[in-house]
Structure 1
Amino acid sequence: MASAMLWTGTAQAAAGVHAEEIVRFPSADGDLTGGAPTMLSGRLLRPSGSGQHPAIVMLHGCGGLYARSGRVSQRHVWWATHLQRQGYAVLMVDSFGPRDVDEVCTTALKDRTVRATVERKRDAWGALAFLRRRPEIDHGRIGLIGWSQGAGTVLAAYGAGDDGPAGSEEGGFRAAVAFYPGCRASLSDEDWQPDGPLLLLVGDKDDWTPPEHCKELAGRDGVKDKLALVVYPDAYHGFDSPDAPVRKRKDLATAPGGTAHVGTNEDARSDAIRRVMEFFQEKLGG
């Protein structure tokens, strides 16, 4: 899996982008392992041009970074290349492969060995530290984006306050975007608030991670001034995926009844693309 290419040569030429660089870097999970940190793998895309660039860390969902074909999933390829063309370096983090995990969508929460609020938030912090060692990256302009479980990781990693990099001298991520997370964990922590500006995008018809907890979280004192919530009517989980007709998934461990609809909503997708680009341009520059 780790050796799979991001895209084919034809697709790469059509996109007009450079081949990705496969990188390895440590997670910040050494306090969990009691020894050496987990060595993560990732794919780093750099924009054209010289000088230092803003960067964005991408966090995959419960299905992992790779599709069954062994290639990076279509959604992540699309977002990574689109962000790259807008002038951002993009680091796609693989939290599963280095831990010998294929997916956790069908794994009960109590049985998961890679959790958003524990291991994966430390992976995000490790990615931030890695990018700050790269000379082509503007160390003060690094953002975070995630989907589903990866979006839950965004809330955990970007809401740790002084317990995370935001409490360090260099500071943490400058801005973050979360697509359809489960907001229950953050809502249950009365002290939770984002470390900075946060854009939260959810579907009103999402029956996998229903938006009610996110709506309540967004209205809470201490949160509402930093968090911008967008709720898309008639949109299900995965509404921003490119060319993915809505279908019903079964055997999902965290969806009510084990089933949920997933798929593209073109209106929501178009609006979300516009909002994400405007948000990162405002907070990180380009």
Structure 2
Amino acid sequence: MNGQTMNALSWKNGISRFGMSRLCNWKTALLLLTSSLSLAAIAQPSPVSLPSQRPGLQAYWFPAPTSTTQPTLIMLHGCSGTLSKQGRLTPDRLSDATLFNQAGIHLLVLDSFSGRGIKSICELARDFRPINERDRRQDVIDALVWLKQQPGVGTQFAVLGRSHGGQTVLTLLSDALAKQDPNGVEVLANLQGAIALYPGCRQELADPHYRISHPLLMLTGALDDWTAPAPCAALHQKLRERQPEMRFDYTSYADSYHGFDGTAPLRVRSQVANTRSGQATVGGNPLARQAAYDAIFSFLEQIWQRPLSPKPSFSAQ
């Protein structure tokens, strides 16, 4: 799917933007999702500390239960990190691990914050953040080096990043940065493609020389008031013209805000540094969630040239 908006994903219930009926629908959906996951063993993480150029890189390793070598997906969190307030992986990430593991995919969830004493950077202006996308690009490179040494890990890799993690994906794929980092280029040669969900695209759009080094799938929410989708749509168009030979799939989902692929109900988040109001709407859209995972699995099948089964089904939502 190249450069399209999914207009069929309307899920408004006609009561109110954040009405109780939507919340009830979400409660029902979550119960049904939990029940469906309980039918299979929920993947359990193995916390690991990874050797890294910048000390403190941690991760959660979910190897798929298989006796053969399998592909691996590296997952990058957003600006609020990958852990809950209680210091545990969120239910959505545990759900991801189960879904990908069941399809025979190893999952490595990177934690670029906790081991470095960082809880969140959402509240900080870009110039005042203790970690940036280039730092996290190196985290991915270090993770790939570690993964190559793990049993059962094959030669197929992809990266999926959400929000600030999606912006890290755009930095990771920067052709200009690759030319400045020969060692990184050698490591990234193991990568077949990357996925960016609701990233900020303004910086790359403003760069007349920006090019991507690997196939890219980008998914945004048409109503996103945190990382606006318009610059991403424009970037997609520019790169299609600049690099017609490079695969870049883009879809924007109607009626969808930041975090549309998650299970949290819609809410307005405060203390957001990079919006004019200091606020942003976040939360999931069940139909967009299903469509996004369908697109992700289809993309992975194509770049890895292998079927993946079973595929996620959130029909109960």
Which interval holds the TM-score relative to the shorter structure?
Answer: 0.7 to 0.9
After the TM superposition, which residues 101-250 of structure 1 pair with which residues of structure 2 at under 5 Å, given as runs? 101-116=118-133, 118-138=134-154, 140-159=155-174, 160-164=177-181, 167-168=185-186, 171-220=189-238, 221-223=241-243, 225-242=246-263, 244-250=264-270
Length-normalised TM-score, structure 1: 0.87
Distance of 1:112 and 1:101 partners within structure 2 = 10
Distance of 2:269 and 2:114 partners within structure 1 = 23
Q: 1:21 aligns with which of 41, 46, 49?
A: 46
Give SS of 1:241's match.
coil
Distance of 2:211 and 2:247 partners within structure 1 = 8
Other-structure match for 2:14: none
Q: Supply the AA of the counterpart residue of 1:240.
A: D
Other-structure match for 1:64: 81
Query: Does the alignment pair 1:277 with 2:277?
Result: no
Length-normalised TM-score, structure 2: 0.79
Whether contact under 8 Å (1:57, 1:93) holds in the other structure is yes
Other-structure match for 2:312: none
**What does the per-residue CA deviation read over 1:36-86, in whole Å, with 9 as the maximum and x for residues that have no partner?**
x31411111011221211001000001101011221123222222211111
Deviation of 1:190 after TM superposition, in Å, equals 2.2
Higher relative contact order (CA 8 A, sep 6+): 2
Give the root-mean-square deviation of aligned CA atoms: 2.0
Distance of 2:293 and 2:275 partners within structure 1 = 26
Q: Which moved more, 1:147-156 or 1:182-191?
A: 182-191
Distance 1:12 1:235, change over 3 A: closer
Q: Supply the AA of the counterpart residue of 1:228.
A: D
Q: Supply the AA of the counterpart residue of 1:19.
A: Q
Distance 1:133 1:254, change over 3 A: same
Distance 1:216 1:170, change over 3 A: closer
Other-structure match for 2:117: 100
Distance 1:18 1:214, change over 3 A: closer
The structure that has the greater radius of gyration is 2
**What does the per-residue CA deviation read over 1:137-193, in whole Å, with 9 as the maximum and x for residues that have no partner?**
11x301000100010011111224334566327714211111000011222222222
Structure 1: tracts of 5 or more residues without a match: 1-9, 31-36
Distance 1:11 1:115, change over 3 A: farther
Q: Percent identity?
A: 30
Count of matched residue pairs: 266
Distance of 2:51 and 2:219 partners within structure 1 = 30
Distance 1:17 1:263, change over 3 A: closer
Structure 2: tracts of 5 or more residues without a match: 1-34, 309-317
Whether contact under 8 Å (2:43, 2:97) holds in the other structure is no
Q: 2:104 aligns with which of 61, 65, 87?
A: 87
Give SS of 1:168's match.
helix
